[in-house]
C-alpha cells in the first residue's frame, strides 16, 4: 500500500498553474505489478508536469532511463534506453470515468491522482516489439532482409533494350483509347 501512495499526486493541494513532480523508478517499482513478465529491473526518472486549470488538469509525463530486457534471440540480459513523452488529461465532471485512452473524467472533490499504473503502461508501450541485444542487431537486420526476399537483381541492359517488333506489328495499327490520346497530346504539348 505504501508503494502506491508514493505515486499519488494530491491535486487538491495544488493551486491553478504549472507544477512539476518527480518520481524515481527502480527495481521495486516493476515488482509491484503482478502481470509483469517483460521488465523486472530498471532505473528511470519521471517528471510529471502538471498544468492545473479551472476545468482541466493536463499531466505531461517525461520518462527517461534504462530498463533491463531479455534478448528474444540469445536470452542475454541487456539495458535498453528509454525516453518517453506522454500526456493525460483529467476533466472535471459529475463522475469518475475513462473517456478515452488519453482523457479521464474526475469529480471536483477527487483528492489525488495515482500515476503508478500510467507510468508502468507508458514504459511497456515504449518497449520494442522485438527485444534484441545490441550485439545481435546488425545480424538480425541482415537475416530479416534475406527473409523478405533478399537481393533483387536488375539487369539494366535488358530493361533498356528496345523490344523486337514482329512483322505483323508494322502493318497492324491498334486503335488508341481516346482518353490516352488526349493525355499524349497534353504531354507532347508540355515537352514542346
Element (H, E) at 57: strand 56-70
pLDDT tens across the length of the chain (192 residues): 677 888 999 998 999 999 999 999 999 898 888 877 788 899 999 999 999 999 999 999 999 999 999 888 888 999 999 999 999 999 999 999 999 999 999 999 899 999 999 999 999 999 998 888 888 877 655 555 444 444 444 444 444 555 555 555 455 556 667 677 777 777 777 666
Which residue(s) pair with 66 in the sheet?
43, 81
All cell numbers assigned to 155: 539487369
Q: Of how many residues is the chain composed?
A: 192
Task: Say which residues have a Cβ less than 8 Å from residue 57's Cβ, sequence separation at least 6.
Answer: 11, 50, 51, 89, 90, 106, 113
Amino acid at each position: 500500500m505504501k508503494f502506491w501512495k508514493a505515486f499519488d499526486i494530491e491535486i487538491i493541494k495544488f493551486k491553478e498553474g504549472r507544477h512539476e513532480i518527480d518520481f524515481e523508478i527502480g527495481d521495486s517499482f516493476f515488482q509491484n505489478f503482478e502481470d509483469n513478465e517483460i521488465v523486472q529491473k530498471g532505473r528511470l526518472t519521471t517528471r510529471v508536469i502538471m498544468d492545473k486549470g479551472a476545468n482541466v488538469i493536463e499531466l505531461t509525463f517525461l520518462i527517461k532511463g534504462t530498463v533491463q530486457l531479455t534478448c528474444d534471440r540469445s536470452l542475454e540480459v541487456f539495458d535498453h534506453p528509454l525516453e518517453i513523452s506522454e500526456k493525460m488529461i483529467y476533466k472535471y465532471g459529475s463522475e469518475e470515468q475513462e473517456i478515452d485512452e488519453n482523457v479521464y473524467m474526475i469529480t471536483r472533490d477527487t483528492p489525488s491522482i495515482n500515476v503508478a499504473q500510467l507510468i508502468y503502461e507508458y514504459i511497456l508501450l515504449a518497449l520494442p516489439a522485438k527485444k534484441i541485444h545490441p550485439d545481435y542487431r546488425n545480424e538480425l537486420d541482415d537475416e530479416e532482409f534475406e527473409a523478405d526476399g533478399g537481393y533483387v537483381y536488375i539487369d539494366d541492359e535488358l530493361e533498356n533494350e528496345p523490344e523486337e517488333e514482329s512483322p505483323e506489328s508494322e502493318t497492324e495499327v491498334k486503335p488508341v483509347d481516346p482518353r490516352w490520346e488526349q493525355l499524349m497530346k497534353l504531354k507532347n504539348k508540355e515537352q514542346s
